[in-house]
Chains A and B, each alone.
Chain A
């Protein structure tokens, strides 16, 4: 099987699931990495090291900023000349768009966010969660090439081999831009929950620390937000000792405690970390469907009846404002940080 693997990156930073897609492609046959952007030598080198048989680069200042239209046109044009059986992408906001458009150009279909891919005779069968993971479907694409975006952390990541190298093949950039990037700010809310191995999440309970006295002059809502900030500071500290990311429940996001980009759950992000620590999260079904595929779930909550305990392997019925800092301290010692 001949596969093109789209290596997704943002300003040179590769989405790790791109390598997982490359590993999957190698297990099916030959794998050619596809990289678009400007100044791509380091990524091309990394693609060879991660096992690419070939690397196609469209290295052009016109592609410096990701925009869906020129990237889709460049990919469709490459696919037309290479005739792959399959094009794989890591699932990201960019690749959903890119694959969607290229599928229209190539008159084929996209299987998004797949968690398994098997070869059944000459047909590829993908498994993907629908209804936010409440149900799984097996699905096939009768068009050619089959296009699929893989869920981060669902497929093994190949170990890079520094002795592998090669010469990238240059391909043409199609610069049909319909949109213009005016600016970018790496806001503090920037978070990549999909790739995180550890997530520590806070819920509505993070503002519920009565022993904290907010600064004078705050009204009730300001005091609540101030308390929530102190609570999330504790969660952030634990996350950072564990090398993880900070998540949140919808209740915490809706209350304005933390930006939407941190939201785990049905209307937020579906995550699959190795370790998920839920702090002050009661566990509404809409949150549970977003995190129930974590390998190990730990819940800390005052309410012993909270539904989150039904999903957890370990639970602490107690005050998160006491347990979380103590846990941070315990890990700091044990991990030598």
Chain B
């Protein structure tokens, strides 16, 4: 089975991200593979192993995003492709989905695996938009994937419980953490990744023009400062502390 894992590069989750001069700044924090996408690579590798398939990691981004693809290669992906083009600087989610769909069609796939969302924009809608453009079924929030005889069954982890859903392949799947902890890159994997040749495709290579963004940012702001004054509740016994704390909470009228 031919599997594509779609990944993105984002600032590390511990980064102190803030709005600065109309731009998002993350200081000197490193750019890393989107943490949710590590689960996508893990899910894709599990399918590769179950079906003797191959995994291609696919990423839209600047040249620096090679590092995220190398992480996927080091985890065990067979090949990686970077879609990079100066015309893609102002991309909204639908635009990203159109570019990904074109790349997926060029590569060819039985299954495309996404992470649930990215840590930066966080809309979580690119997987479904990509599926819609491809006309493929969308199986979102999978905690478990089983592919067999041209069909796929997933167990979805939804707010209300667990739901088993099936579809014919090819299909788009997004995964959640229940898929399993992403494997650590092996020493051999890291060596392989450092030598890998990662092709860069432009929009011309994909035969598409730059999608016109429909959604645009007009302003960037830092959230209002948080109140920081804390009152420590103490007392002679847990019962006394609890009594005082309960009084304080009730007085705030939040219940």
Contacts and interface: CB of A to CB of B under 8 A. Distances in A.
Given A131-B17, A326-B242, A261 B157 contact: yes
Interface residues of A, number: 96
A72 B132 contact: yes
Interface in B228-251: 228-234, 238-239, 241-243, 245-246, 248-250
B102 to A, nearest CB: 14
Contact of A104 (B94, B127, B141): B94
B165 A180 contact: yes
Interface stretch (A50-58, A79-87, A91-99, A162-170): A91-99
B249 A286 contact: no
B84 interface: no
A267 B223 contact: no
Interface stretch (B52-60, B68-76, B117-125, B197-205): B117-125
B43 interface: no
B23 to A, nearest CB: 10
B157 A97 contact: no
Given A136-B221, A183-B164, A313 B230 contact: yes
Given A178-B167, A183-B164, A286-B13, A135 B222 contact: yes
A109 B215 contact: yes
A129 B239 contact: no
A135 B221 contact: yes
Contact of A275 (B137, B141, B213, B255): B255
A303 to B, nearest CB: 13
Given A101-B138, A139-B217, A314-B249, A260 B176 contact: yes
Contacts of A180: 165-167
A298 B160 contact: no
A329 B162 contact: no
A253 to B, nearest CB: 8
B28 interface: no
Interface string A3-44: 000000011010000000000000000000000000000000
A101 B128 contact: yes
A22 B75 CA distance: 46
Task: State the main secondary structure of chain B at its contact with A.
Answer: mixed
A296 B214 contact: no
B140 A182 contact: no
A216 interface: no
Contact of B122 (A131, A191, A295): A131
Contacts of A132: 119, 122
A104 B132 contact: yes
Contact of A182 (B164, B213, B214, B215): B164
A330 interface: yes
A182 B160 contact: no
A27 to B, nearest CB: 21
Contacts of A181: 163-165
Interface string B129-148: 10111001111110000000
Contacts of B218: 125, 138-140
B128 to A, nearest CB: 4
Interface stretch (A202-210, A217-225, A227-235, A316-324): A316-324
B110 interface: no
Contact of B245 (A141, A183, A316): A316
A94 to B, nearest CB: 8
Given A182-B153, A260-B177, A330-B246, A292 B226 contact: yes
B252 interface: yes
A169 B176 CA distance: 38
B70 to A, nearest CB: 22
11 contacts: A69-B137, A100-B93, A130-B24, A131-B119, A184-B163, A198-B255, A259-B178, A260-B157, A275-B252, A309-B230, A326-B238
Given A109-B92, A143-B214, A309-B232, 5 more contacts: A111-B215, A138-B221, A275-B255, A318-B241, A326-B242
Counting from the closest, the 5 A-B pairs by CB-CB distance are A326-B242, A100-B125, A178-B137, A109-B214, A109-B215
